[in-house]
């Protein structure tokens, strides 16, 4: 492929890329990868992952996570229906798995609603409301299709890198090296990391609303994320981190609290 054709392909990708809208926030997002393909791949990856870890058999932990997860997932589905996005329900098959690993303080989601909670994070969440903060945050990532958007960003950055590589192939090797390095740093610092922080902040906001509508007190988010921030130890500057700096995260959560409390009060809990 000629450099002109490759650059044209990059331009067409920008112009013709599928655009989706994040429920609740209304933000337009990159959608190069069909959600159905992401869900299919995630289902296989999820099964592979479960085969590589010890799934908890603790009835109390599984009951707790499942109870919260089902309520928050029902809240997410209600939002899709209320937003006339009921057709998107076909992408979700909610599953909530507890992994027996007390050393790992973490939870994550995969496309299609596959949520994993490690036993290490359960005692950090001091009550059911605080664990709902965790699960609401992960359900929010799934609802907002952040994995698909991240994959689209990486694909587009790689395509741009290919175009740049072809454009500078006649330049000295040393020049090619630093130009590609500069491009890589620019893509990472200018696109991928900022979008990761956007995703985290967006999941915080959406998660607050989902848990509140499900009847969990969103005010539990402040002590939970404060405690998580205190556990983090040394961390890179925010502009080099995929997660927001703890104090700015708490500030944004407090800013969204009035909105979340309206949903909580309407839930009647």
**How do residues 88-102 score in pLDDT, each as one tens digit?**
899 999 999 999 999
What is the residue-averaged pLDDT of the chain?
Answer: 78
* pLDDT beyond 60 at 73: yes
List of domains in the chain: 3-267 (3.40.390)
Average pLDDT for 115-133: 94
What is the value of pTM for the model shown? Answer: 0.74
Distance CA 120, CA 104 (A): 5
Task: Decide if 155 contacts 14 (C-beta within 8 A).
Answer: no
**How do residues 173-229 score in pLDDT, each as one tens digit?**
654 443 434 434 443 434 444 447 788 889 999 999 999 999 999 999 999 999 888
Task: Decide if 164 contacts 187 (C-beta within 8 A).
Answer: no
> Most distant CA pair in the chain: distance in Å?
68
The reported pLDDT for the residue numbered 171 is 54
The contacts of residue 130 (CB under 8 Å, 6+ apart) are 124, 220, 221, 223, 224
**How do residues 229-254 score in pLDDT, each as one tens digit?**
887 655 544 333 456 677 888 999 99
Task: Decide if 30 contacts 156 (C-beta within 8 A).
Answer: yes
Distance CA 60, CA 232 (A): 27
The helix/strand/coil state of 107 is strand
Q: What does the block give as tokens for 56?
A: 């908890």
More confident residue, 147 or 183: 147
The reported pLDDT for the residue numbered 229 is 82
Write the CA distances from 29 to 85, 142, 161, integer angstroms. 16, 14, 21
* pLDDT beyond 90 at 166: no
Q: pLDDT category, 128, cuts 50, 70, 90?
A: very high
Residue 78 host element (H or E) = helix 59-82
Catalytic one of 70, 77, 103, 138: 138
**How do residues 25-35 score in pLDDT, each as one tens digit?**
777 776 667 77
Respond yes or no: is residue 138 known to be catalytic: yes
């Amino acid at each position: 492929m000629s450099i002109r054709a490759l650059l044209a392909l990059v331009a067409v990708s920008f112009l013709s890329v599928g655009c989706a809208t994040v429920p609740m926030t209304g933000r337009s997002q990159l959608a190069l990868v069909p959600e159905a393909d992401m869900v299919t791949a995630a289902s296989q990856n999820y099964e592979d992952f479960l085969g590589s870890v010890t799934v908890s058999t603790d009835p109390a932990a599984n009951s707790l996570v499942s109870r919260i997860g089902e309520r928050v997932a029902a809240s997410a589905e209600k939002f899709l229906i209320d937003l006339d996005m009921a057709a998107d329900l076909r992408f979700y098959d909610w599953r909530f798995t507890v992994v027996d690993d007390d050393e790992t303080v973490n939870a994550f989601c995969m496309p299609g609603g596959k949520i994993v909670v490690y036993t290490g994070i359960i005692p950090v969440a001091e009550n059911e409301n605080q664990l709902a903060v965790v699960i609401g945050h992960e359900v929010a990532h799934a609802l907002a299709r952040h994995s698909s958007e991240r994959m689209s960003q990486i694909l587009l950055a790689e395509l741009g890198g290919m175009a740049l590589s072809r454009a500078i192939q006649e330049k000295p090797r040393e020049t090619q090296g630093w130009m590609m390095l500069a491009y890589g740093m620019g893509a990472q610092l200018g696109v991928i990391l900022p979008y990761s922080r956007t995703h985290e902040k967006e999941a915080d906001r959406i998660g607050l609303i989902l848990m509140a509508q499900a009847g969990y007190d969103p005010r539990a988010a402040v002590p939970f994320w404060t405690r998580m921030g205190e556990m983090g130890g040394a961390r890179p500057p925010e502009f080099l981190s995929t997660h927001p700096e703890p104090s700015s995260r708490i500030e944004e959560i407090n800013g969204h609290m009035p909105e979340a409390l309206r949903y909580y009060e309407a839930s009647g809990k």
